């Protein structure tokens, strides 16, 4: 009985410490809002490193999934991005981290999908959130100490599709991309074949068919690119749990330069 009580106390203390750490990391992200000249708004959270105006820092753009859409400017921190905010990571890889929030009923990407197919096409016009995100990045470059040779983008699920949309739409803006359980327009591959990309997905993903990732991998390889690819066996939609806790991925990402 004493052993059970002791174990319960240890678990409770561990839970409290975890939540305290999580709250501390969340509070390190400032609440921000970007508004363009038309009055359109994009909410986002921002994490700055131990800022030194004598140097420039990588910029990491993190795109959340569909379940975190809204206007609370909080939900987008639920998955993935907090791994970039860990103390160890911020010491090894100091960076400016931006986590925008997509409004309800909108999407990061603007792909047109053929019926009963994984084939997609990229229209000329971006979605409103993507248009705002591009303008926000330009503002950050202007106002913060951003190393324009080290702008990275990553995202999960809806954000994985958004990652492909962004790099195919603005192929020379980014230095590397990590799309997690996403997909893109394979006809646009030639424009991003130069870009370091590491693709992640789950082999048993019932929400986003891993075929999307496999088709992008095949198209990139045929175009002469050398993408990284990780497909987790016996993993469903939550492949981002492995992707963003992979220290090799973090090390690889922050090594990339234009």
**CA-CA distance, 248 to 178, in Å (whole number)?**
12
Segment 120-148 mean pLDDT: 96
pLDDT score, position 144:
96
User: Could you tell me the pTM of the whole model?
Assistant: 0.89
Task: Tell me the per-residue pLDDT of 36-60, one tens digit each, with 9 for 90 and over.
Answer: 988 899 999 999 998 888 899 999 9
Whether pLDDT at 248 is above 70: yes
- Residue 160's pLDDT is 98
How does the average pLDDT of the chain come out, rounded?
A: 90
pLDDT of residue 168: 97
- Specify the pLDDT at position 37: 85
Residue 2 has pLDDT above 80, yes or no: no
Mean pLDDT of 226-239: 97
Asked if 178 and 253 count as a contact pair (C-beta separation under 8 A), the reply is yes
Q: At residue 150, what are phi and psi to the nearest 5 degrees?
A: -140, 60
Question: What's the pLDDT tens digit per position in 87-113?
Answer: 999 999 999 999 999 999 999 999 998
Q: What are the residue boundaries of the structural domains of the chain, listed by start?
A: 29-255
Q: Which CATH superfamily is domain 29-255 in?
A: Alpha/Beta hydrolase fold, catalytic domain (3.40.50.1820)
Kindly indicate the confidence band of residue 10, based on its pLDDT and cuts at 50, 70 and 90: very low
In the predicted structure, residue 8 carries a pLDDT above the cut 50: no
Percent of the chain surpassing pLDDT 90: 83
Banded pLDDT at 14 (limits 50, 70, 90): very low
* Residue 30, SS3 per DSSP: strand
Give, as one character, the DSSP assignment of residue 94.
-
Cα 88 to Cα 14, 56, 91, 206, distances in angstroms: 19, 20, 5, 34
d(CA 169, CA 155): 16
Cα(18)–Cα(29) distance, integer angstroms: 17
Q: For residues 208 and 197, what is the distance between their CA atoms, to the nearest angstrom? A: 19
- The 3-state secondary structure of 138-188, one letter per residue: HHHHHHCCEEEEEEEEEEECHHHHHHHHHHHHCCCCCCEEEEECCCCCHHH
pLDDT one-digit tens code per residue, 215-226: 999 999 999 999
**Could you give the CA distance from residue 212 to residue 76 in angstroms, rounded to a whole number?**
23
pLDDT tens digit sequence for 151-180? 999 999 999 999 999 999 999 999 999 999
Tokens of 217: 């991998």
Residue 32: C-alpha distances to residues 26, 44, 136, 138, 155 (Å): 13, 5, 11, 15, 19
Kindly state the percentage of the chain with pLDDT values over 70.
90
How many whole angstroms separate alpha carbon 63 and alpha carbon 256? 19
Q: What are the distances in angstroms from CA 242 to CA 2, 10, 12, 248?
A: 36, 26, 25, 11
What's the confidence (pLDDT) of residue 24? 53
Which pLDDT belongs to residue 6?
43
Burial state string for 102-120 with b = 16 or more CB within 10 A and e = fewer than 16: bbeeebbbbbeeeeeebbb
């Amino acid at each position: 009985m004493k052993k059970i009580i002791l174990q319960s106390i240890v678990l409770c203390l561990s839970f409290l410490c975890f939540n305290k750490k999580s709250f501390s990391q969340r509070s390190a992200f400032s609440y921000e809002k970007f508004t363009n000249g038309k009055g359109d708004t994009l909410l986002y959270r921002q994490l700055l490193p131990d800022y030194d105006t004598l140097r420039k820092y990588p910029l990491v753009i993190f795109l959340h999934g569909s379940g975190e859409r809204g206007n609370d400017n909080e939900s987008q921190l639920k998955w993935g991005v907090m791994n970039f905010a860990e103390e160890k990571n911020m010491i090894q890889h100091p960076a400016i981290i931006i986590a925008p929030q997509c409004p309800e009923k909108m999407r990061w990407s603007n792909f047109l999908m053929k019926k009963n197919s994984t084939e997609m096409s990229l229209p000329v016009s971006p979605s409103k959130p993507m248009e705002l995100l591009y303008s926000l990045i330009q503002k950050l470059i202007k106002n913060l100490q951003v190393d324009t040779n080290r702008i990275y983008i990553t995202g999960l699920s809806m954000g994985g599709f958004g990652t492909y949309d962004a790099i195919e739409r603005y192929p020379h803006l980014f230095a590397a991309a990590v799309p997690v359980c996403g997909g893109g327009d394979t006809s646009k591959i030639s424009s991003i074949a130069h870009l370091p990309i590491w693709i992640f997905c789950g082999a048993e993903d019932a929400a986003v068919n891993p075929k999307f990732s496999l088709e992008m991998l095949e198209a990139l390889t045929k175009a002469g690119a050398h993408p990284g690819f990780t497909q987790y066996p016996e993993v469903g939609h939550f492949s981002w749990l492995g992707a963003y806790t992979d220290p090799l991925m973090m090390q690889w990402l922050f090594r990339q330069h234009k």
